């Protein structure tokens, strides 16, 4: 039975008067006496929708949306309130899966805290669109790094090379009128160790996040961390340049770690405590290294070293904006009041930073090192 025939059957037999509602008993009878060619996960979702209803009826439109791979708001509320019964075993017990589906299942358990969400994502996952944003950003960062490494014949502490700081991609306070630098600095890195750390975290955390939450949300989170990083440096460390994608990386990492903590009981990723401790140790070590390079560089330099404030501001973006994005899986952010509060706060910060960069340097008499 195809989908259109099934919809017609439901409407003709269960809702002939077009009331918009179907009695729970009638729908249960349909499930028991008709062969519904639906995947097991979707059938479980339908049964959960029925069992979560307290008024003895199911909204026809909600049923159609669910069968069309859309989860209605009422069904999401039922999931949130825990009023559902799942008949089958947990997703982790499914056998006979191919390599790709096993990876999708791993991603579901890595990112999502709710078994219903995990199974929904597992059965709805498609290869298109692929998680290309994080992959493209990482590839471009590697290519840019290799180009400068070959050109300068220097693979560590590249910022000590004057020609490196002359790049049109580096954010430098003397060039802050060139707006693209507030974003493009994410493609430049101090050296091989910083690039390796950022690329590893981006791929390990960013790709699963993008697979679950989509390119729009994850790219927004990453770029918000990048922009917040350069703007924060322009306010708090006004003489320092900025290089590296740490603002975006820390936005992703802090959002994911905060989501794990907030949903600790529901997360089923293996060794989650050990992995969280290792992630925090690595992130703290990277921040400590950036502080050391900023204030106690191992070699003399003609100007200030890149600031570490981008790391911290990226983490703040991740905990605030990112946590809401990851918590609202398959829900419209526009309908949430907390989302608009965060957006308003970010825009306020953005406007303040713009005015600061226009007026504060001259008013405070800040001596900016000459651009290389």
Other CB atoms within 10 Å distance of the CB of residue 335: 10
C-alpha span between 345 and 11 (Å, rounded): 47
Q: At what angle do helices 246-262 and 272-295 cross, to 10 degrees?
A: 150
> Residue 14: phi, psi to the nearest 5?
-105, -20
C-alpha span between 353 and 360 (Å, rounded): 10
Chain-centre distance of CA 186, in angstroms? 17
> Residue 30: phi, psi to the nearest 5?
-60, -45
C-alpha span between 360 and 363 (Å, rounded): 5
User: DSSP 3-state assignment of 267?
Assistant: coil
- Helix and strand counts by DSSP (H, E) for the chain: 18, 2
Q: Are 290 and 309 in contact (CB under 8 A)?
A: no
Q: Going along the chain, which residue ranges are E strands?
A: 21-23, 57-59
Other CB atoms within 10 Å distance of the CB of residue 326: 26
DSSP state, residue 125: -
Please, how many CA atoms are within 13 Å of residue 85, restricted to the half-sphere of its CB?
Answer: 6
Looking at the DSSP bridge assignments, the partners of residue 23 are 57
C-alpha span between 311 and 68 (Å, rounded): 42
Which residues participate in catalysis according to the annotation? 246, 311
Residue whose token pair is 């699963």: 208
Chain-centre distance of CA 136, in angstroms? 15
């Amino acid at each position: 039975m195809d989908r259109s025939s099934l919809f017609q059957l439901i409407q003709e037999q269960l809702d002939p008067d077009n009331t918009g509602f179907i009695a729970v008993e009638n729908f249960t009878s349909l499930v028991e006496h008709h062969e519904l060619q639906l995947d097991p996960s979707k059938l479980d979702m339908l049964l959960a929708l029925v069992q979560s209803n307290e008024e003895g009826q199911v909204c026809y439109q909600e049923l159609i949306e669910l069968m069309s791979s859309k989860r209605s708001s009422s069904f999401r509320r039922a999931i949130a309130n825990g009023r559902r019964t799942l008949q089958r075993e947990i997703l982790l017990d499914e056998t006979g899966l191919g390599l790709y589906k096993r990876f999708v299942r791993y991603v579901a358990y890595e990112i999502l805290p709710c078994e219903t969400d995990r199974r929904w994502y597992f059965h709805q996952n498609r290869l298109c669109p692929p998680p290309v944003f994080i992959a493209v950003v990482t590839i471009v960062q590697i290519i840019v790094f290799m180009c400068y490494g070959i050109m300068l014949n220097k693979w560590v502490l590249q910022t000590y090379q004057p020609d490196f700081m002359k790049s049109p991609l580096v954010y430098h306070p003397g060039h802050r009128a060139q707006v693209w630098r507030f974003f493009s600095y994410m493609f430049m890195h101090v050296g091989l160790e910083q690039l390796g750390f950022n690329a590893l975290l981006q791929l390990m955390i960013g790709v699963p996040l993008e697979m679950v939450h989509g390119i729009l949300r994850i790219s927004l989170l990453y770029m918000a961390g990048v922009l917040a990083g350069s703007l924060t440096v322009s306010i708090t460390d006004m003489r320092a340049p900025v290089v590296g994608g740490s603002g975006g990386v820390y936005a992703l990492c802090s959002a994911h770690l905060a989501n794990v903590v907030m949903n600790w009981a529901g997360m089923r990723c293996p060794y989650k405590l050990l992995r969280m401790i290792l992630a925090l140790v690595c992130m703290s070590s990277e921040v400590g290294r950036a502080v050391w390079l900023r204030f106690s560089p191992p070699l003399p330099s003609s100007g200030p070293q890149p600031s570490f404030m981008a790391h911290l501001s990226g983490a703040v973006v991740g905990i605030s904006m990112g946590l809401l994005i990851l918590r609202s899986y398959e829900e419209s952010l526009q309908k949430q009041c907390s989302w608009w509060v965060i957006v308003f706060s970010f825009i306020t910060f953005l406007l303040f930073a713009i005015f600061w960069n226009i007026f504060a340097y001259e008013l405070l008499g800040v001596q900016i090192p000459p651009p290389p």
